[in-house]
A = this chain, B = another copy of it.
Amino acid sequence: MPIKPKIPRPTVKRLSLYLRQLESMTAHEQQTTSSKQLGEALGLTDAQVRKDLAYFGQFGHPGIGYKVGELIAQLRKILGTDRNWNTAVVGAGNIGRALMAYGRFKNKGFEFVAVFDNNPEVVGTVIETHTVRPMKDLATLIKDRHIKLGIVAVPEEAAQQVTDELIEAGVVGILNFAPIRLDVHDAVSVNSVDFSVSLEQLAFQVSLGMTGSLDEDEN
């Protein structure tokens, strides 16, 4: 192992986008691509693409570009999605169901292997082939099924408590949909999706567009 390269945070986000674009390219039988082409498809500069990829190794072929299949394999390895991540969904409301219904996660290395809810009317019902379990089964199921990722899709008031239980049971990564900052210790990773923030950002951009300026869109 050479040194620690230090990866910029924005780079990580873009790796996912590269991977998705490349997968769409294989689907179209495309064998090879370039940083220019990849960048154009995603609204980035070619230099940005090359620099991002170069943090992880030398995947390109000068004069040729990148071999699509090869780069896909590399990116999966980098992102950790070459293995399978057993994942639990906590909260069988609309968000929980939306995620479980989105079939493409399976091919992306994420497998939902348990759903929990505390509502007795929901417990026992089946969502996408999975029976909703009561919260009291959480710890044992997380352990038995070697679940490493947890999705917190419960109301704000319950989010921290649920998080604590997940971590206690052995989960090492949390995707949080509740509008609060979750308190976790350093060994656990948290990533939050916050609809209010997203909408307010949008309102700001729009308001601004009517008067001043911010930098580009970039989606």
Contact = CB atoms under 8 A, between A and B. Distances in A.
Interface of A: 4, 6-7, 9, 12-13, 15-17, 19-20, 41-43, 78-81, 85, 93-95, 97-99, 101-102, 104-105, 108-110, 148-149, 172-176, 179, 181-182, 184, 186-187, 189-209, 212-215, 217, 219
Contacts of A214: 7, 9, 12
Contact of A105 (B199, B213, B215): B199
Nearest to A209: B189
A27 to B, nearest CB: 12
A198 B175 contact: yes
A150 to B, nearest CB: 10
A181 to B, nearest CB: 5
Contacts of A193: 193, 195, 198
A142 to B, nearest CB: 15
Given A81-B203, A209-B189, A99 B176 contact: no
Given A43-B181, A149-B206, A193-B193, A199 B219 contact: no
A80 B187 contact: no
A78 B201 CA distance: 11
B206 A16 contact: no
B16 A202 contact: no
A201 B81 CA distance: 10
A181 B42 contact: yes
